[in-house]
Structures are given as structure tokens and as C-alpha cells.
Structure 1
Amino acid sequence: MADDHSSDEDSDFSDSELDYYAEKAYISLKNADHRILNPDGSLRCPFCAGKKKQDYRYKDLVQHATGIGASTSRKAKEKANHLGLARFLQKDLAFQAPPPPTLPPAADPAPSTSDSGGNELFVWPWVGILVNLPLENWVSIRELFAEFNPVNVIPSPEKDRNSGYGEAVIWFNKDWKGFKDAMSFENHFKVKRLGKKEWDEKKGDCLSGIHGWIARDDDYNSDRLFAKVLRKHGELKTVSEVTEQAARENGMMVAALAKKMARCVMFKGKPARMLKDFDGEREVENALENSNLELAAIEKQKADEDVKNLMEEQKREKEVALARLLTLESELDQKQKLELEIAQLKGKLKVMKHLQGEEDIEKKIEEIQKKLNEDKEDLEQLHNTLFMKEREANQELNEARAELIMGLTKLLKGNSLIGVKRMGDLDVKPFQSACKKRFPAEDADIKASELCSTCDEAIRNPSWHPFKIVECGGENKEVIDDEDPKLKSLCKDLGDDVCNAVKKALLEINEYNPSGRYPVSELWNCKEDRKATMKEVVHYIVKQYKARKGRR
């Protein structure tokens, strides 16, 4: 909002036009074209923007405006503006005049008593102290002093079991009515000569009757049984401080109400502008919503294209792999045929060695031996070729599997039949369950994370290898050593579930990455909880793509 007049009002005008321009300034203020309310609830003069003082009270601002409006030494424009301001204050803003800031609410004035000096420190919220209480009266304390409207009664944590008497604190409301009840409570005991003074004078002697008084700073700072309760639930304040706090809260409430009323005046004077602004905001919101819908559609289209490209790439790789497999099968048949031919030649050679009576036996043996050597060379060459092709096929298969893992990690969300599992990662759930049983609720999650992190570091440490070799079906096999000290200690401290989770992670690391000892990703059949085959993965991707395509 502007604080100065527009450029067409900058020139001075004669005194005869004073009423006209004063009315114009009044209408401008009524339409909320000028700001006169500060955030803290004080008022400002919109026509004295360069002045240092801009935090008037209502009465002072009225006096300022009427004084300048009646001045003979001021310019006509300045007088007209201030006359319009004075009229606006007296006619439209009189109901917003804030009350004096130091006075408490009129409906509940602060009590004034000779016992509560301005500098005397009381425990606030107001609290009374009861001593020499019979133990059998604990339950009926609140009913016993119901006339003083107690809010709560807290017995001291210890009681003198030998004497059969104890102490208690009785809490009153925080407001001035509560203070009045507390002072009445103290006067009740003073009249009966059962107050603090009598208690301190006869302390140690045989006393009779319940003594009571309102808690002050010496009680708050003492080492008596009830002092801990006072320090835990209360604080020391003077009556003046409580009064000032109530006045501040009241002033803030009045300022907030004044601000709301000013907004109401502004909205009342500008319905057309508000409607226009609302329509503009609604158009912006609609445009933003349409933009979000377009972005969502683009994102969905991009995801569909990614799935389609991935499926086509996997289809090409599958065709190449099938062609390579057919070639390998053909070459394997050729190898077997050569092996059979070599075996036949060896048989013929043995037969020829036994036929020593024939004349050309040596020549035939040399021919057969030569043929046999040639077939061996062909077989070795074929074997090397098959070995290299098998290595290339395995490498391509592993690369395709790695690409699938990367692609599916981005595309698959939530529960699905095929997913990507981190082999060797620790499951934190058993740690959380164990820690909730052994530690406080607020520390359980933090402790579970710390223990899980410690076990994860131990699993990745190459120096810890809790395995042993056993013979199974004629073959040596590595299994978990249940007698390992760390595993036994873990099972003893945190239970079988945590120990089994660590064993599972150890077995996965030992199978999938024994040299690096860090978790690796693997395609996983989530339904059957096992490693997924390439055929299963490709079939799943094709099925998902067809389902998406059908929904479009």
C-alpha cells in the first residue's frame, strides 16, 4: 500500500479547497490505500513518512492529526491530509483504540494485599504448602480444602513413617482468581495461628494441627521435601512480573484483533479488487494444475518408452544369444563327430598293429597315424574356438544381466514378481525387534542402527571368516561355523533372529562376492525367493509392457 499521495496531488491548493481535500484524504484512508497500523499494534501517521516517531498510541495520533490540521503555519495540503486522518481515527477506528499496556484485564484485576509487595517473590503458578499432614488424610486433601478451588494436590515423595505425618503442595489457578484463592488459603491458617511463622517458631517441638502457607522464594530454594516439587513444576515471579506478563499477552491479543479489524476494513473497501485477485489466483492454480498433469503425462510416456526400449534391446540380445547357442550346438556336434572318428581310427590302428603279416602294414599305419594327428589338431582348434565363444557368450550374458539390474532398479517400484535384491545386505528388522525388548523405546531405533552397522562392518572384514569345510555327498563344502565366538556372543546377546540374519548375509557374501566382501545386486524371483533366470526376467518385462500398452 502506498504511504504518499499520487503525483496529481503533489501541488499545494488554497484554504478554500481544504474541506474537499480533507474529504478526499478521509476516503483514501477508508479504502485502506494508506497503512496506519504497525505489526506490534501501535499506530503510525501515513502523511509523515519521514518523521522518526512512527509508533503512536491512539490518543497521541489523534492529538497529532488535529494539531497539524488546526495549525496556521502548515501548508494547506498537509492540513487537509491530517484533518482527514483525524476524522478517520475518530469515526472509523475509535473502537480499535488499545487499552493502556500496563493494566491487567478489567474483568479480573490484580489483587492488592499488604502481604504481597511488588518485589516479593512467589512460586508461580500459585502454590500452597501443607505440613504436619496425618497420613490417613492423603486421599481427602483436595476435598478438605475445596473452598479454595485447588487445581491439583501433589504429596511429597517421602513421608515420616515414624511420626505418621507428611507434607504436600496444593496448586491453584494461574490467574488472579487463583492468587486470591492462594492468599485466602494462607490467611485461613494465619487466623488459626497455623501459618509458616508458627511452624518455623515451633519446629522440632510437638506440634498439632495442619499448617499451611503460600510458597515463596525461601521455600523454593530450601532443601525440604517439597522444594524439589516446587522447582520442577514452578518458577519464581513477583506480582508485578505476573501483571506485566498478563498485560503483554492482553496487548498482543488486542493488536491481533486490531490487525484483523483493519483487514476487514480493507476487504470491505476493496471487494472488486479482492474478487479480481481471487480470479487471478484461481487462474494461476488452474494453470499450475494443468502443467502438473502435462508433466505427469510426459513422465508416464517417458517411462513407457523406457520399458519399450528395454524390451526391444533384451529381445535383440535374446535373438543373438539364441543364434550363438545354435552355432555352439552345431560345433559341438562336429566335435563329437570328430571324437568318434578319432576313436574309430584308434581302433583301426590297433587292428593294423596285430596284422603284421601283410606287406603294406607300415604304410597304412603311417597313413592312419597322420590322419589321426590331423583330426587331433582339428579337434584342438575346434575346442579352443568353442571355449572362446563360450567365454564371449557368458560375458555378453553377464553384461545383459547387469544392464537388466540397472534398468529394473529404476523402473520396478513396490511389490513385484521380479525384483533386484542386494546380496549380502543385513536385514535391520531383527535388530529393531531385539532392541525394543532390551532398550527403552526412545533409544531402540538408534541402538538397532548402531548394532546393525557394527555387524555389517564385521561381515565386510576379510579377516573374519566364520566358515568350516565339511564333506557332503563326496564333495567338500563351506558351511557356517556355529562355534565361532562372535556368532555365539551375538546369539547370546541379541537372540537367534539377529544371529540368523547375520548368517544369511555371510552366506550371500561368500557366494556372490567372496573377494570384494561388499553387497552386490542380483535379479531375484521374489515369489519363490531365489535367483531369477534371464528367461523369467524377459518374460516378466514383456508381460508388464503389454499390460501398460493395454491400459493406454
Structure 2
Amino acid sequence: MEKQQFSVGDSSGETSETKKSECTEEKFVWPWVGLVANIQTEVDKTGRRVGRSGSTFRDELIEKGFDPTRVQPIWNFKGHSGFALVEFTRDIKGFENAMNFERSYKSDGHGKKDWEKGVHLRDDDKPYGWVCREEDYNRGGIVGKNVKKKRDLKTLSQLQEEEERKMVQLVENMSQSIEMKIISKQELEHKVDETSRVLESVELHNYQLNETYKQEVEKMHANLQGLYQQILVGHDKSMSDLETEREKLENRARQIYINEAGMEKSRLEIEMNQKAMMEQNEANMEAMKLAEKHQKEKEKLHEKIMEMEAKLNETQELELEIEKLKGSTNVMKHMAGSDGDAELMEKMVKTQMELEARETALHDKIMAVTQKERMANDEYQEARKEMIQLWKENEDLVSGEKIRVKTMGHLDTKPFVLAVKKKLRCSEARAGLKAMELCSFWEGQIGNVHWHPFKVDESDGIAKLVVHKNDLKLVMLKSDYGEELYNEVVRAKVEIVEYNPSGGYVVSEMWNLEKNRKATMEEGTDVMLKMRKKLVAMKNKRKRR
């Protein structure tokens, strides 16, 4: 950059003082300020002197081309002193404007020398003006005090040295800034490399998960095929055993041919055996059909799962691509912010458009997967409802099984009877009647959707329902009837909140009594096959009789 050169010009004239200044450099008041004297004032009604405002004077100087930043009238205890300070900008342009301001007044015979010679003592109402120097800075009185305020004395050489020092400092700061940006760019490139490695690791992990899933699906298909083969082998063995039995009966019939009673008995046994063979064959055929239907339903369900997994994989791939594009966009933004490359900005815009298109495609795929998942869930819930209805209709067949139908939100009357009997110390009949009334009351409270005696506790990082310790109803129940009845009411209310919070009425659910949780469809299917075998066995037993 070019150095600023300050030139005073011929403002001082060829006097003895000018010759002396050639040996001693002249000092100016800095920031640049001019002094205007002989400003006309008048006395107002209050007895104070007033004159033109600083803004009006400043506008006049601006019209003359001196561009002052502010004109500050000097006031004393009598009012306007007739002096004003004219402030200019701190740069070389401000110095040039200040010197032009001084030359203008000097050429008109109203410079500093004219003022000091006493020209103003004549009948002259025009102002005098000049640029403040050392003698103005050291002046006494109100004028010198205002000139000194927040200002200093400096030579042009000193100002030039300061400008050069500031320039050197600016260059050093810019160099440090450039070095910092280079370091930041290197760090961003390092982060991009790390992000790329992480994405590659995620892609590899996703590939391994897909391979594991395919292997598990193949293993499941193999197990189903083996089960189907076992059913066929069992059917063939049953037919072979029946055929062997039939041959034995026929041999026996031939042996007792001469005995009519024995022949009749053999004939009846043969007929019963043939009927049993036919019934067994029908039962086996139905079992095979049921197994085939169960296998087809499982295959259909697994096809839907595979399809949803494929959609999920596509979604994950899109998410990875979107993350890559976002990472590229962020890097481009940082790089564009550092040097403003137009080609890089255009590339960033294209990347942003591609990112928006990817996000739109991802949203469409997520919506499709969600819709299919909802349809599969509806089918699953419908099948579960049918299975629960079958359970209710055949309670005697599943009495010994661990999978049963449980009524969620239903109160057990035993704790009520024991609690009432313990509190009232009355007869069995009266305790039972009071317990029924109390149980009916709390069934109504459990079904009341507006009563919610719980709060969510996340103290251990897992959200779970806990009972409000200060719930008035539960506090009174526990105080009147004890801990056991309190726990029974809380259990029923928790089940209602979990399984039917909006309706508030009891619902049926297929339950695993052994593990105290909701039973799966596979567990229910296994019990259904057992139910089928019992039905076939009971039917065969009745026919034999």
C-alpha cells in the first residue's frame, strides 16, 4: 500500500517564523480541528449571548467543500463566546479539507495572522478561521481548554510514522488471519476425511447386518421345510401303522373264519379300524392344511418383512447419501466463506439442489414403508383378535397352558373381601356384600379417564409410570384398607392406562402367565396346534365308544 504523505503547502507564508519552522517541525492539534473566531452574537431575553448553531455553520462549510464532521460552538458563563471548533476526519482527506479551510479564510484576509494583528478590532462582522497548532493548544482560557479536550499535539512526521506502524500491524494481522484460515481449512479437510471413514464403516456394518439377516431368513426357511417334512413323515408312519394293523385284523379274521361270532367281531373291528383310519387321515390332512396355511402366512409375513427391510435399506442408503451431501455442502460453505470462489459457490448450489431432491425421495419412501407397515400391523391385530376369541370359546382345552386370555384392568375380588373382613371384623356374608360395593366403586374409578394418579419418572434414563404419592384417593384407600388392596387397584389402573387409556374399559389380551407378559403370535400358534390335536383325539375317542 502507498504511504500517506501530509503536505502543508504555503499556508504559513514566507515569514521569519516559516524559516524557523524549516529547522523545527511544526506541530498540529490532532485529530484535526479548526478554530473560528469573531462569530457574531447577540443578547437574548435572559441576558445570555447566543449565536448561530453548530449545525447551521457546519452546513455552510459543507457547501463550500470543506466537509467538516462537526462544528462545536464554545460557551462560557456569559453564553456564546464568539468562538467555535471545526472538526474534520482523522485521515489525509480530513487534513486536506482543514488546510483548504485555512487557506480560504487567509485569502480573504481573515486568517490567523489577521486576527492576531487586531484587524478584527475594526468594524468587521466576518468570522476568522485557521487550523489549530501548538500555540492554540497551549492557549489559556475557555478556548484553550476546549482545544485540549480529547486531543493531542503531533507533527506530520509522527502521524506518518504512526500510519506506517498501523500499516505494518495490519499486514501482520492479515498474515496471521491467512495462516489461521489455512489451518482451519486443513482441520476441515481432516474432519471430512474422518467423516468419510465413519460413513464407510457404517456402510460396511450395514452390509454385514444385511448378510446376517439373509442367513437368518434362509435358516428359518430351512427350519420350516424340515417341520413340513416331519409332518409328512409322521403322516406316512401313521398310515403305515394303520395298514399293518389292518393286515393283522384281516389275518385274524381269516383264522376265525369258521367262528361266526368271531367273524362278526372281526368284521366290526375291521370297520371301526377303517373308520378310524379315515378319521385319522382326515385329521392328518387337516393338520397338514393347517401347517401349510401357517407356513404360507409365515412366508407372506416374511416376504413383507423382507420388502420392508429392502425399503429400509434404501432409506438408510439415502440417509447416508444425504449426510454425505450435507457434509460436502458444509465444507463448501466454509471454503466459500474463506475465499469466495464463484465456481465453488455454483457447485455448492448444485449440491444443495441434489440434497433437496434426495430428501424428497427419502420422504416418499418413508411414507410408503409406513403405509405398508400400518397395513401389516392391521392384519396382525385382526389375527390376534380372532385368536383371542378362539381362546375364550375353548377355555377347557387350554386350562393347563401357560398362554391364556387375561382381562386387562379387571379387579380381583379376593383382596377386597380380605381387606373388608379384616377392617370390619364382620361375617363372611356381610364382608362379601361390602367388598362387592367397594369393588364396584373402584371399577368406576379405574374406568374414569379423567383420574390419572401417575407421573412419568426419567431419573434412571428410562421413562416409566410411577404413582403420585400425594394422590388423595389412593392415600385414603391405603390408609383405610391396607397395602394389598392398594396394590391391586394400582395394578388394574396401570393396565387400563397401558392398554386402553382413551376408552377406560377392560380389554382382553393374550398373556404368557409363566413370563408375565403379552404372548407372541408364535406362542399362540403353538398352543392352537395343541388344541387341534386334543380336539382330534376327543373326536376319535367318542367314535371308538
Please indicate the TM-score interval, normalised by the length of the shorter structure.
Answer: 0.3 to 0.5
Question: Which structure has greater helix proportion?
Answer: 2
Larger radius of gyration: 2
What is the TM-score of this pair, normalised by structure 2? Answer: 0.41
What is the TM-score of this pair, normalised by structure 1? Answer: 0.40
